[in-house]
Amino acid sequence: MVLRADRPQRENLTGNWRSLRPRIELERCTRCLLCWKFCPEACVELGGGLPAIDLAYCKGCGICAVECPPKCIVLETEPEEEPCARS
């Protein structure tokens, strides 16, 4: 059985409730793309070979930071006043 959503995916933003947000320090990134591979929500996008996190859907689980070999992904406290955006 396949259940269909009443609303399109672009309206079902899931990143609004997280308490931590990942930030990639691109100058330290080795472009191994393990963050992209292990993200359970597929929130890591690749643009020109560089990872970027789509904060509109990121739930802040931190798996990307744990799997990052150079530890260039840091988890920061989510500012309450900022809407979801792309990091």
59-70: average pLDDT? 96
What structural domains and CATH numbers belong to the chain?
18-77 (3.30.70.20)
pLDDT at site 85: 54
Long-range contacts of 43-52 (CB under 8 A, 24+ apart): 43/15, 50/26, 51/24, 52/24, 52/86, 52/87
What pTM did the predictor assign?
A: 0.77
59-79: average pLDDT? 95
pLDDT at site 87: 52
User: Using one digit for the tens of pLDDT, what is the confidence trace for 5-58?
Assistant: 555 556 678 788 889 999 999 999 999 999 999 999 999 999 888 999 999 999
